[in-house]
Structure 1
Amino acid sequence: MADIYDENRTLEEDTQHGRFLTFTLEDEVYGIEIKYVTEIIGIQSITKVPEVPHYVKGIINLRGKIIPVIDVRLKFGKEPMEYDDRTCIVVIDINEVSVGLIVDNVDEVLTIDDQDIAAPPASKTGFENRYIKGIGKAGEKVQLLLDCEKLLQSDEMEMIESLQ
């Protein structure tokens, strides 16, 4: 029985391998591995929480589950933007912790082959590229592929877990 489960799990992982949900922030296109995405919802009422970093906008109640919400623009040091009807919350699951990522708008799901993913450019400080897992090339477009596991540092994950 365990072999069947393992085989099904491998099949599921294989169908998700190389698939990325792409979204935009300003005029940059980012991608996250589809295996982390649980759902995409429109912007909704967010309850503010005191004493959290400025990029943590608060929490939402999603069908009875409390989800902390992060504005990715602010996390990446970009200017804040008024939310509109294109603004989305991408709910991801990192190590069984759900987090909502506020993005300008969701584009599409792309399949990017491993050979079309380049390593991020080297940085002298290592700081600028810590969230970037690779650079994907699909057609004429380039996507900055985020590393969901590094998007939140361990102290941030602890803070987010405490909000749930």
Structure 2
Amino acid sequence: MHAQTPDGEHSAPTLQFLRFALEQELCAVRIDAVREILEVGQMTPLPLMPSFVRGVMNLRGAVVPVIDLGARLGLPPTTVGRRTCVVIVDVPDQEQQGHHTLGVLVDAVHEVFDTRSVDLEAVPRLGTRIRPEFIRHMVRVRGQATPDLDLRAILDHNALAELIGAHSLAAMH
């Protein structure tokens, strides 16, 4: 959506983000990937899974894998507490022919905010606790640079399957 300025010029499009905490790190994802936000409910653990796979949950009859987003990014695993949430996200698959639905466990959800595309900044190669290839941009929120996470890279179906397979093989030996 482009807003028109009083002189008839088009301004930069407005983007919406969901901002949340992973441990002490504030992160954001584009709201168009977010389907809903849930309280942490019953999750069924799965055997031989890496620590970032917390299990599966029932979402209105569908079995949805739950990924500990902090652990997936190399941060300490999430300790479930009062403010912990499962954010249900739709991630495009590699072939762009659809999406897969996953739950991501986060420490706390803070807000939905708007920004203009001109507020997006390049990802620094150093100085973030999250690998640069998992960050789309840095987004300014009240003067604070916040990573805009690339869920497609973080939750890539093939990459997750490879990590899970390698972990399962190691666990069996």
| TM-score interval for Structure 1 and Structure 2 normalised by the shorter chain | 0.7 to 0.9
Which residue does 2:90 correspond to in 1? 93
The amino acid across from 1:93 in the alignment is: D
The amino acid across from 1:110 in the alignment is: F
1:29–1:142 contact (8 Å) kept in structure 2: no
Which residue does 1:5 correspond to in 2? none
1:157 Cα deviation after fit: 5.2
1:134–1:146 contact (8 Å) kept in structure 2: yes
1:155 aligns with 2:158: yes
1:76 Cα deviation after fit: 1.6
Structure 1-normalised TM-score? 0.79
Which residue does 2:133 correspond to in 1? 130
1:53 Cα deviation after fit: 2.3
Deviations 1:39-71 (A, max 9, x none): 000011110112322201110001111110001
2:17–2:114 contact (8 Å) kept in structure 1: yes
Relative to structure 1, is the Cα distance of residues 97 and 154 closer, same or farther in structure 2, using a 3 angstrom cutoff? closer
* Distance (whole Å) between structure 1 residues aligned to residue 65 and residue 49 of structure 2: 11
The amino acid across from 1:47 in the alignment is: T
2:46 is matched with which residue: 49, 72, 94? 49
1:87 Cα deviation after fit: 0.1
Structure 2: tracts of 5 or more residues without a match? 3-12, 93-98, 163-173
Larger Rg belongs to? 2
Which residue does 2:112 correspond to in 1? 109
Which residue does 2:26 correspond to in 1? 29
1:60 aligns with 2:21: no
Structure 1: tracts of 5 or more residues without a match? 1-9, 160-164
2:73 is matched with which residue: 76, 99, 122? 76
SS in 2 for 1:18: strand
1:158 Cα deviation after fit: 5.1
Number of aligned residue pairs: 143
1:149 Cα deviation after fit: 1.1
Which residue does 2:37 correspond to in 1? 40
Structure (1 or 2) with the greater helix fraction: 1
Which residue does 2:121 correspond to in 1? 118
SS in 2 for 1:74: helix
Structure 2-normalised TM-score? 0.75
* Distance (whole Å) between structure 2 residues aligned to residue 70 and residue 44 of structure 1: 14
SS in 2 for 1:130: helix
* Distance (whole Å) between structure 2 residues aligned to residue 81 and residue 39 of structure 1: 19
2:22–2:78 contact (8 Å) kept in structure 1: no
